[in-house]
Protein backbone atom coordinates (compact mmCIF):
# COMPACT_ATOMS: atom_id res chain seq x y z
CA UNK A 1 0.00 0.00 0.00
CA UNK A 2 1.35 3.41 -0.97
CA UNK A 3 2.09 5.98 1.72
CA UNK A 4 1.16 8.88 -0.58
CA UNK A 5 -1.19 8.72 -3.54
CA UNK A 6 -1.11 11.32 -6.30
CA UNK A 7 -4.38 12.90 -7.27
CA UNK A 8 -5.34 15.85 -9.45
CA UNK A 9 -5.74 18.04 -6.36
CA UNK A 10 -1.93 18.11 -6.17
CA UNK A 11 -1.55 19.41 -9.71
CA UNK A 12 0.04 22.84 -9.99
CA UNK A 13 -0.88 22.86 -13.70
CA UNK A 14 2.77 23.03 -14.75
CA UNK A 15 3.59 19.68 -16.36
CA UNK A 16 7.28 19.63 -15.48
CA UNK A 17 6.54 20.37 -11.82
CA UNK A 18 3.69 17.85 -11.65
CA UNK A 19 5.98 15.20 -13.15
CA UNK A 20 8.68 16.00 -10.60
CA UNK A 21 6.17 15.92 -7.74
CA UNK A 22 5.02 12.49 -8.93
CA UNK A 23 8.64 11.33 -9.00
CA UNK A 24 9.20 12.58 -5.43
CA UNK A 25 6.05 10.77 -4.32
CA UNK A 26 7.33 7.62 -6.04
CA UNK A 27 10.62 7.78 -4.15
CA UNK A 28 8.78 8.30 -0.87
CA UNK A 29 6.52 5.32 -1.62
CA UNK A 30 9.54 3.16 -2.50
CA UNK A 31 11.16 4.20 0.77
CA UNK A 32 7.98 3.27 2.65
CA UNK A 33 7.79 -0.10 0.90
CA UNK A 34 11.45 -0.88 1.66
CA UNK A 35 10.98 0.02 5.31
CA UNK A 36 7.84 -2.10 5.59
CA UNK A 37 9.78 -5.06 4.14
CA UNK A 38 12.53 -4.54 6.73
CA UNK A 39 15.17 -4.02 4.05
CA UNK A 40 17.23 -1.82 6.35
CA UNK A 41 20.12 0.39 5.37
CA UNK A 42 20.88 -1.54 2.17
CA UNK A 43 17.77 -0.13 0.51
CA UNK A 44 16.41 2.61 2.75
CA UNK A 45 19.70 4.49 3.06
CA UNK A 46 20.14 4.90 -0.70
CA UNK A 47 16.43 5.70 -1.19
CA UNK A 48 16.54 8.36 1.52
CA UNK A 49 19.63 9.85 -0.14
CA UNK A 50 17.85 9.78 -3.52
CA UNK A 51 14.86 11.58 -2.00
CA UNK A 52 17.09 14.34 -0.65
CA UNK A 53 19.06 14.65 -3.89
CA UNK A 54 15.98 14.73 -6.12
CA UNK A 55 14.28 17.23 -3.82
CA UNK A 56 17.24 19.56 -4.35
CA UNK A 57 17.02 19.06 -8.11
CA UNK A 58 13.28 19.70 -8.03
CA UNK A 59 13.58 22.84 -5.90
CA UNK A 60 16.26 24.26 -8.21
CA UNK A 61 14.09 23.59 -11.29
CA UNK A 62 11.05 25.11 -9.62
CA UNK A 63 12.99 28.23 -8.66
CA UNK A 64 14.34 28.63 -12.22
CA UNK A 65 10.81 28.50 -13.62
CA UNK A 66 9.55 31.00 -11.05
CA UNK A 67 12.52 33.28 -11.70
CA UNK A 68 11.86 33.17 -15.44
CA UNK A 69 8.22 34.14 -14.86
CA UNK A 70 9.24 36.84 -12.37
CA UNK A 71 7.16 35.25 -9.60
CA UNK A 72 6.75 38.05 -7.04
CA UNK A 73 7.29 35.97 -3.88
CA UNK A 74 10.17 33.85 -5.15
CA UNK A 75 12.41 34.87 -2.23
CA UNK A 76 9.89 33.57 0.31
CA UNK A 77 9.38 30.36 -1.67
CA UNK A 78 13.13 29.88 -1.90
CA UNK A 79 13.37 30.33 1.88
CA UNK A 80 10.74 27.58 2.36
CA UNK A 81 12.81 25.32 0.13
CA UNK A 82 15.92 26.05 2.15
CA UNK A 83 14.19 25.34 5.47
CA UNK A 84 12.62 22.11 4.25
CA UNK A 85 15.88 20.90 2.74
CA UNK A 86 17.77 21.64 5.95
CA UNK A 87 15.22 19.74 8.06
CA UNK A 88 15.45 16.63 5.90
CA UNK A 89 19.24 16.81 5.54
CA UNK A 90 19.56 17.05 9.33
CA UNK A 91 17.50 13.90 9.75
CA UNK A 92 19.48 12.06 7.08
CA UNK A 93 22.74 13.01 8.80
CA UNK A 94 21.42 11.60 12.09
CA UNK A 95 20.17 8.49 10.28
CA UNK A 96 23.51 7.95 8.54
CA UNK A 97 25.35 8.23 11.87
CA UNK A 98 23.00 5.65 13.39
CA UNK A 99 21.45 8.23 15.72
CA UNK A 100 17.94 7.97 14.31
CA UNK A 101 15.89 5.13 12.91
CA UNK A 102 13.81 5.23 9.77
CA UNK A 103 10.34 4.73 11.14
CA UNK A 104 6.72 5.43 10.46
CA UNK A 105 6.96 8.81 12.20
CA UNK A 106 9.70 9.93 9.82
CA UNK A 107 7.82 8.65 6.79
CA UNK A 108 4.69 10.47 7.95
CA UNK A 109 6.78 13.63 8.44
CA UNK A 110 8.17 13.31 4.88
CA UNK A 111 4.70 12.63 3.47
CA UNK A 112 3.18 15.58 5.33
CA UNK A 113 6.12 17.80 4.37
CA UNK A 114 5.68 16.98 0.68
CA UNK A 115 1.89 17.16 0.87
CA UNK A 116 1.88 20.53 2.63
CA UNK A 117 4.55 21.97 0.39
CA UNK A 118 2.64 21.08 -2.77
CA UNK A 119 -0.79 22.08 -1.49
CA UNK A 120 0.31 25.32 0.17
CA UNK A 121 3.49 26.85 -1.21
CA UNK A 122 3.43 25.34 -4.69
CA UNK A 123 -0.25 26.03 -5.27
CA UNK A 124 0.55 29.72 -4.72
CA UNK A 125 2.72 29.92 -7.84
CA UNK A 126 0.38 27.95 -10.08
CA UNK A 127 -1.93 30.80 -11.21
CA UNK A 128 0.96 33.22 -11.68
CA UNK A 129 2.97 30.81 -13.82
CA UNK A 130 -0.07 29.82 -15.87
CA UNK A 131 -0.92 33.49 -16.50
CA UNK A 132 2.67 34.02 -17.65
CA UNK A 133 2.59 31.17 -20.17
CA UNK A 134 4.07 28.35 -18.09
CA UNK A 135 2.00 25.16 -18.27
Domain membership of residue 73 (yes or no) is yes
Domain count of the chain?
1
**Nearest to residue 4, comparing CAs of 25, 35, 34?**
25
pLDDT in tens, 2-45: 889 999 999 999 999 999 999 999 988 888 888 788 775 677 77
Q: Under 8 Å CB-to-CB from 13, ≥6 apart: which residues?
A: 126, 129, 130, 135
Domain membership of residue 124 (yes or no) is yes
Range of the domain at 109: 14-131
pLDDT band at 99 (very low <50, low <70, confident <90, very high): confident
pLDDT in tens, 37-61: 877 567 777 877 888 899 899 999 9
- Helix axis angle for 40-68 and 15-36, nearest 10°, is 170
What's the whole-model pTM score? 0.88
Higher pLDDT, 68 or 32: 68
Domain membership of residue 7 (yes or no) is no
Domain membership of residue 6 (yes or no) is no
Return the CATH number at 32. Answer: 1.20.120.50
Amino acid sequence: MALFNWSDRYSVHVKAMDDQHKHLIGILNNLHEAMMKGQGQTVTGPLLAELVEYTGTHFAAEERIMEGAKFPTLAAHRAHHHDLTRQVEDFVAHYNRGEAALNVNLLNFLRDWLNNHILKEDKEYSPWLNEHGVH
